Chain A
């Protein structure tokens, strides 16, 4: 009964999404005020239906309803409640429903957020969102309905992929999807502005908080995924340039570019067409990301669902959606000229470089992502593109970006110049170079050029970002939240670059075979192996080891790496023991029994690796802080006054 209700609600949601698109886009175009007025009710109705549908699927999971194929394939009666709920997005169909549900949440938020903006504009934004929702609902109903029943119910489900049974990964898809879907709001704002033919600084101000919010969620989602991969897969890296990771990273790069380009559009009314193009591209990349991951076209760890039919639908949807947006863009772009100028050393120039470098980086990742497919088409056979391609090519655009950032944040708008900060900036560079070189060469005994350069750049960004807040504090000038958020995000980037350099350059990694009581050294720590015992879990068994970690004769911790054998899926996973000590991250993974009492173990000591994730989270926090800036709210209040004044004038 409940699954049928869910399916029915989904069909109603499809109809309401269609109406939302029709009223929202058609209403303003045909000047039908009634249609415009009907947009908000359609949004509300669609959301209620989508939420109902989502609720039905969650209920089916919670109640262990194994008459539903999707539940039977992705859950098990032995599974704890938390993972039964997380099982909803454990595979393709449910993650699509989650996508749609989150789109519904964003749409409702947008409806509230744009309530004070001109009615026509708000209707158009919601209309575009309706069209996106319509496409995804149709896709779900036609190709990946999660509510389909089994003709013969199974006694028990197959269980959730053990890899996904982890708090980090349970939270990763919702977070990442919130970011992906959030970019559709920026896209909808861009389309609405193009439809209206009016794209000004006000538009940029309206769009900014939404884009930044989406960007912050995307950041958090990527961090969770990276953290999960670090300690579950136990490969001992924070980033693999895996095709699926790249699929989430490309929209992030575009969104970052968009945030900066929107700053110029808001402040100076420049780069309008470029900003709109970035909004369209960012959303396209998040759709392509979904397409790449879900079509199984890229064989990678994450592509659980191999389903070409679904891929074709998504590709068609992509072409229609992006094609429409780009045609609209081509039609309107001649009207988006602006006559404002700026000097070479102005803030605008630096943000232009920022955009070019970020888009270059994104294009580089895209090329690497597409190379295996193109190589097949060229008859070269399969090709793998891994870190040896991505690392150096990515650095080509990132190194100048970081250096330009440290200078650019002090550049003045329009007339250019550093506003008398040139000397201070040079001093901070000298100080940063000192810190970077001392850390790299004296503390970590590093050789090579890259480590000191990376650490210097990271430190320089931190120091340079601090100049302005310190100056303001000294003069007792208040710091607007937007500036504070930006500063925090930039400092976090500096921390990120610094710690990433440390991890890349100074990781100690060893595979050892140890007998009971024997010990091995890695990265300044001593690891003493004290045997393996049996492990008894709820739906798994396995082995758990005891490893005593010491440094310079002093005890640090006792670590318990384990291997788990999941009964239902007959899957073995490693559960590495992860420890945070003095900024370093120690990872011990248990291998197999080598016989005669010896076990293989992997020992890794990664200096500062935890700061990579912490920094990324701080970055996201900076973004969220910037959204709460007063001026976004004042702007809305003003717009409301305008509308009220207009209404008053008419009557």
Chain B
């Protein structure tokens, strides 16, 4: 009895969790190859709002199917990619875009690789400059293969 109730309670959760594992395989026909390519690019760039970490292209849930239909209609109506993106961002926020926008609060994210490379380049320049000066007056550490004698000396 208790078990049946538990199973019943868990069922919707299981269904909810289970749903995203199945994949949407949704054949579509766009009138021209150019539109088809744009459609593919767009649905791969949007996140499914109902599942975890899947694009609209892969999501099997009905919300995603509705959104795909919406994109198809907007494309057929002659909307640009930009307009379609704007439409979805205004409804669902930046979360829907797999590509983070470049606004001032996300600028740090896009600039990080460049800044890191710059810092690295400066550091490399300083290190190499210092080391090239040392090459002339080089006191190399003795090779650890001679460790026997060194350790013995330290031992005394």
Whether chains A and B associate is yes
Tell me, yes or no, whether A348 is within 8 Å of chain B by CB: yes
Which residues of chain B are near A156, meaning CB under 8 Å?
3
Q: Least Cβ distance of B151 to chain A in Å?
A: 5
B53 touches A381 (CB 8 A): no
Per-position contact with B for A370-387: 1 when CB-CB < 8 Å, else 0? 010001001011111111
| Nearest neighbor of B12 in chain A, beta-carbon distance | A570
Measured as residues with beta carbon below 8 angstroms from the partner, the interface class of chain A is: 35 or more
- Chain B, interface size category, equals 35 or more
Q: Which residues in window 281-314 of A have CB below 8 A to B?
A: 299-301
B62: CB under 8 A from chain A? no
* Inter-subunit contact B45/A388 (CB<8 Å): yes
Do residues B131 and A386 form an inter-chain contact, with CB atoms below 8 A? no
Which of A338, A367, A389 is within 8 Å of B141, CB to CB?
A: A338
Looking at the assembled complex, report how far the CB atom of B147 sits from the nearest CB atom of chain A, in whole angstroms. Answer: 6
Q: Is A276's beta carbon under 8 Å from chain B?
A: no
Q: Say yes or no: is A340 at the interface (Cβ < 8 Å to chain B).
A: yes
Complexed CA–CA distance, A343 and B120 (Å): 18
Residue in B97, B132, B138 whose beta carbon sits within 8 Å of that of A344 in the complex: B132
Q: Mark B2-33, 1 if CB is under 8 A from A, else 0.
A: 11001000110011011101111111100000
User: Is A574 interfacial (CB 8 A cutoff)?
Assistant: yes
Mark the stretch among A185-193, A319-327, A454-462, A636-644 that contacts chain B.
Answer: A636-644
Whether a CB of chain A sits under 8 angstroms from the CB of B35 is: no
A579 to chain B, nearest CB (A): 18
CB neighbours (8 Å) of A601 from chain B are 25
Task: Flag the segment in A53-61, A200-208, A527-535 that touches B.
Answer: A200-208
Query: Which among B117, B131, B138, B143 has the greatest number of chain A C-beta atoms within 10 A?
Result: B131
Q: Tell me whether A359 and B116 are in contact (CB under 8 A).
A: yes
CB < 8 Å neighbour of B134 from A240, A300, A341:
A341
Main secondary structure on B side of the interface with A: helix
Residues of B within 8 A of A638 (CB): 145, 147-148
Chain A residues whose C-beta falls within 8 Å of the C-beta of B128 in the assembled complex = 342, 344, 349, 352
Contact check, A158 vs B109: say whether CB atoms are below 8 A apart.
no
Q: Does A155 contact B (CB under 8 A)?
A: yes
A242 at the interface (CB under 8 A from B): yes
B88 contacts partner chain A, Cβ-Cβ < 8 Å: no
Q: What CA separation (Å) do A340 and B132 show in the bound complex?
A: 9
The reply to whether B25 and A397 contact each other, CB–CB distance below 8 Å, is no
Determine which of A348, A363, A375 lies in contact with B131 in the assembled complex, contact meaning CB atoms within 8 Å. A348
Across-interface contacts of A481 in B (CB, < 8 A): none
Any A CB within 8 A of the CB of B90: no
Cα(A371)–Cα(B132), bound, Å? 39
CB pairs A–B below 8 angstroms (20 shown): A158-B10, A200-B141, A235-B23, A242-B53, A338-B141, A341-B132, A341-B134, A356-B124, A360-B116, A364-B116, A383-B95, A383-B100, A386-B47, A388-B45, A388-B98, A388-B99, A393-B112, A396-B113, A397-B113, A649-B152
